Amino acid sequence: MTNVTSYKEMLAKPWGKIQYEITFAQLSHIKNQNVLDFGAGFCLTAQHLAKENNVTAIEPNPKLLYDNQSDNIYKILGSYEALRDLPNQSFDTIICHNVLEYIDKHNHPAYFDEFSRLLKPNGELSLIKHNITGKILQSVIFSNDTSTAMELLTGEANFKSASFDQGNIYTLEELKQNTNLLVERYQGIRTFYSLQPNHFKTETGWLNKMLAIELSVADKAPYKDIAFLQHITLKKSL
């Protein structure tokens, strides 16, 4: 069950805002396109992209989807079934951020098949996923929770979310096995700031300084391999 209140409160904090600032910077090349945001949540990414694109948002939770009634996004209440109702090759870009963790892994291939069907030739899928290495580092360093870290390390536990249901981590290798879309690149998000105590994050200028250092390493190894989140760009062949 989604805790809408806690999720919205988190997004208002500096450590909630910066994740979107990093994401928006990594999506800055998307302009004059037809875009689908699947699992759009509060539609923050959809709203940002709608400034320069035509955006459709699909989200199963009406409290999230219709939280803002003043935006210029075409909204669809639904999930997988809503994808199937859309025509072939409708979109240049599909956004799927922090979604597949909450969908049974056995069903992932069906979602990727729909994404592939809906993308135009040479279209892109922007996918953000949890990275188990980053989550283990955060458990040990930020949370001082070695028990959870050990469970994650041995694959004995799903991760817990304060705002959503428990989720399942999937690897880049598993992703590649579940789709014919080609992995073009991947970047890191939350490389450093997930490891800092929160009291640093309310200091004047923290967000801009941390944003600069996060973006400077987002596309570099080994930093992108230890980030809490990984932003993967997949492409549909011509």
Q: Judging by DSSP bridges, how do beta strands 119-130 and 229-235 pair with one another?
A: antiparallel
Q: Which helix (H) or strand (E) holds 42?
A: none
How do residues 129-186 score in pLDDT, each as one tens digit?
999 999 999 999 999 999 999 999 988 656 666 556 678 899 999 999 999 999 999 9
- Domains of the chain (ranges; CATH) run 4-131+160-235 (3.40.50.150)
Q: What is residue 155's predicted lDDT score, i.e. its pLDDT? A: 80
Amino acid at 127: L
pLDDT tens digit string along 16-63?
999 999 999 999 999 999 999 999 999 999 999 999 999 999 999 999
Q: What would the pLDDT profile of 98-122 be if each residue is shown by its tens digit?
A: 999 999 999 999 999 999 999 999 9
Q: What's the pLDDT at 110?
A: 98
Question: How many other C-beta atoms are found inside a 10 Å radius of the C-beta of residue 223?
Answer: 17
Please give the Cα distance from 51 to 163 (Å, whole number). Answer: 28
Segment 185-192 mean pLDDT:
98
Averaged pLDDT score across all residues of the chain: 93
**pTM for the whole structure:** 0.94
Burial of 229 (0-12, 13-18, 19+ CB in 10 A): buried
* pLDDT value for 69: 79
**Comparison of pLDDT for 192 and 163, the residue scoring more:** 192
